[in-house]
């Protein structure tokens, strides 16, 4: 077993990836009596979970594009189901391993300010309310002037705000620690290494190889390593060829000690905008707040932040949320990589040879959906009756086209322009109209050149236009999909 100090190298299941999804599944399987190995480097390099704001909600993330397709509405329904599980999930973790309270926010305030553009911010704000009305979710309109902790620059002040009662947040680092402690208490084995490849025979996956040279044998192998899953799949081209490749939605977040030691009681956020998840400030303990917002498509995971992203993030927070954050202490920068399949939707289920499962590609939903997906994937691994219909998200599939080509192009144009407004650009007033026309023509021509039939999601369409490596990945993916038909 090389450097591994474990009693056996044979397990019922090996779960690759020790973020929120992998740790949650490993815990559920260990609770069910399986011999489980959870594999991942202790510091979780580049993982999305360690840099996440860990907002336990879904309606604050609703967008008009999400509601346009059956696939998007299915994702929303899964998010709603997951929300209802979190109180019980956290209570059981507390019963098993104790510890301090890890819920860090009571509800979510969504503010509609003057920084975004109407076609995104106004429309997404309205889409949230529509979705909450459909699901009977509690929310109330509040006056922005009554949000006690909010003190934005006057030019960025919000015009409307609402409070979503049941959308809370947790401390992601404390959650991961609690999951691992509960897993080991349930008899699970932590393997503090990274995986270099898969083991398989003609019919089944049989285990994994480790970078140290060791091997783990198992009847079931689950790849739940987020964006890092792709390099493992690439070691077995005959398997990966029929599965949408993943890129990284790289993001940077900051942990800040506030100047006066105060924090808001609730999450404060904007609607999703400019290809990203909206600006959000999440309270943490001892006078600290988490600040997040960025999402940049990258073909490979990043482990260090770009200075431009750091400056953008902190500038947004000080202008749009609280001015005296500029006098606060920057305690830590965090980098995470969201797993983004090239068609934009998760990879959930058996992946080809028997015993190989994928539980990744969840983009922004992984931590929030972890209790739901952990229980569901455990049922499938154990041969029990599933409770969710995940057929549309099966790993081996044709590219999902949730939007028409025209819708993808228009969305890409609108979000690209919105990025300029978030950066507070200063240009002649007629230029955005000129730029919009050129962007629409440019994206339309590029989409036609990329593929005559398939169109990537808007953020991938925009990101790939000047990225030859991403263009090639998309073309290879579409070609492989046609070859497998």
Q: What is the pLDDT of residue 57?
A: 86
Residue 371 has a CB neighbour count (10 Å cut-off) of: 25
**Residue 272 shares a structural domain with residue 418:** no
Reference 221, options 195, 202, 246, 247; nearest CA is: 195
Inter-residue contact 316 to 293 (CB < 8 Å):
yes
pLDDT digits (tens, 9 = 90+) for 230-239: 999 999 998 9
> Would you say residue 365 lies in a domain?
no
Last residue of a domain, one of 339, 363, 380: 339
**Which percentage of the chain shows pLDDT scores above 90?**
93
pLDDT-based confidence at residue 484 (cuts at 50, 70, 90): confident
Predicted confidence (pLDDT) at residue 1 exceeds the cutoff of 50? no
Phi, psi of 103, deg, nearest 5: -75, 130
Average pLDDT over residues 292-304: 92
- C-alpha–C-alpha distance, residues 124 and 483, integer Å: 38
**Residue 131 shares a structural domain with residue 272:** yes
Phi, psi of 35, deg, nearest 5: -85, 115
- C-alpha–C-alpha distance, residues 249 and 337, integer Å: 5
Inter-residue contact 414 to 65 (CB < 8 Å):
no
Q: What is the pLDDT of residue 3?
A: 39
- Average pLDDT in the chain: 95
pLDDT digits (tens, 9 = 90+) for 142-160: 999 999 899 999 999 999 9
**Residue 432 shares a structural domain with residue 313:** no
Average pLDDT over residues 439-455: 97
Average pLDDT over residues 387-409: 97
pLDDT digits (tens, 9 = 90+) for 259-268: 999 999 999 9
> Would you say residue 446 lies in a domain?
yes
> Would you say residue 345 lies in a domain?
no
pLDDT-based confidence at residue 353 (cuts at 50, 70, 90): confident
Q: What is the pLDDT of residue 293?
A: 85
pLDDT digits (tens, 9 = 90+) for 71-129: 999 999 999 999 999 999 999 999 999 998 999 999 999 999 999 899 999 999 999 99
Q: What is the pLDDT of residue 251?
A: 95
Q: Which domain holds residue 461?
A: 405-483
**Which percentage of the chain shows pLDDT scores above 70?**
98
Phi, psi of 274, deg, nearest 5: 50, 50
**Whole-structure pTM value:** 0.96
Q: What is the pLDDT of residue 2?
A: 37
**Residue 151 shares a structural domain with residue 260:** yes
Average pLDDT over residues 444-451: 97
Phi, psi of 413, deg, nearest 5: -60, -50
- Residue 233 CB contacts under 8 Å (≥ 6 apart), including other chains: 223, 239, 240, 243
**Residue 148 shares a structural domain with residue 280:** yes
**Residue 412 shares a structural domain with residue 318:** no
Average pLDDT over residues 254-281: 95
> Would you say residue 286 lies in a domain?
yes
**Residue 258 shares a structural domain with residue 335:** yes
Say how many Å lie between the first and final Cα of the chain, rounded.
Answer: 41
Predicted confidence (pLDDT) at residue 5 exceeds the cutoff of 80? no
Last residue of a domain, one of 319, 339, 359: 339
> Would you say residue 89 lies in a domain?
no
CATH of the domain at 304: 3.30.9.10
**Residue 155 shares a structural domain with residue 274:** yes
């Amino acid at each position: 077993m090389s450097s591994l100090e474990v009693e056996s190298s044979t397990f019922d299941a090996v779960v690759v990836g020790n973020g929120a999804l992998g740790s949650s599944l490993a815990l559920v399987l260990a609770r069910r009596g399986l011999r489980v190995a959870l594999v991942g480097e202790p510091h979780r390099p580049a993982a999305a979970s360690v840099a996440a704001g860990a907002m336990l909600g879904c309606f604050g993330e609703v967008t008009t594009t999400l509601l346009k397709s059956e696939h998007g509405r299915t994702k929303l329904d899964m998010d709603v189901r997951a929300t209802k599980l979190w109180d019980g999930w956290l209570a059981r973790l507390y019963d098993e391993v104790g510890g301090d309270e890890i819920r860090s926010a009571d509800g979510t305030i969504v503010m509609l300010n003057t920084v975004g553009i109407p076609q995104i911010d106004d429309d997404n704000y309205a889409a949230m309310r529509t979705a909450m009305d459909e699901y009977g979710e509690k929310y109330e309109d509040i006056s922005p002037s009554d949000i006690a902790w909010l003190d934005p620059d006057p030019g960025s002040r919000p015009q409307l705000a609402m409070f979503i009662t049941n959308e809370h947040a947790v401390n992601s680092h404390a959650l991961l620690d609690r999951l691992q402690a509960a897993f080991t208490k349930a008899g699970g084995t932590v393997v503090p290494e990274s995986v270099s490849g898969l083991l398989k025979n003609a019919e089944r996956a049989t285990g994994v190889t480790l970078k140290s040279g060791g091997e783990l044998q198992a009847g079931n192998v689950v790849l739940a390593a987020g964006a890092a899953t792709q390099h493992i799949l690439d070691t077995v081209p005959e398997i990966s060829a029929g599965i949408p490749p993943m890129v990284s939605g790289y993001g940077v977040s900051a942990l800040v000690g506030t100047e006066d030691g105060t924090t808001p009681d609730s999450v404060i956020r904007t609607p999703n905008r400019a290809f990203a998840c909206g600006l959000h400030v999440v309270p943490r303990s001892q006078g600290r707040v988490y600040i997040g917002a960025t999402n940049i498509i990258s073909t490979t995971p990043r482990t260090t932040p770009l200075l431009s992203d750091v400056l953008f993030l902190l500038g947004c927070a000080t202008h749009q949320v609280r001015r005296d954050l500029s006098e606060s202490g920057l305690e830590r920068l965090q980098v995470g990589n969201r797993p983004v399949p090239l068609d934009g939707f998760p990879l959930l289920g058996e992946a080809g040879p028997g015993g190989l499962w994928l539980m990744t590609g969840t983009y922004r939903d992984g931590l929030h959906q972890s209790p739901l997906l952990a229980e569901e994937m455990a049922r499938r691994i154990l041969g029990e009756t599933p409770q969710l219909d995940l057929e549309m998200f099966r790993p081996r599939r044709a590219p999902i086209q949730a939007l028409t080509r025209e819708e993808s192009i228009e969305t890409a144009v609108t979000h690209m322009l919105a990025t300029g407004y978030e950066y507070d650009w200063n240009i002649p007033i007629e230029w955005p109209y000129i730029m919009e026309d050129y962007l629409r023509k440019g994206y339309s021509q590029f989409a036609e050149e990329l593929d005559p039939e398939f169109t990537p999601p808007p953020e991938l369409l925009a990101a790939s236009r000047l990225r030859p490596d991403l263009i090639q990945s998309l073309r290879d993916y579409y070609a492989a999909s046609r070859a497998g038909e």
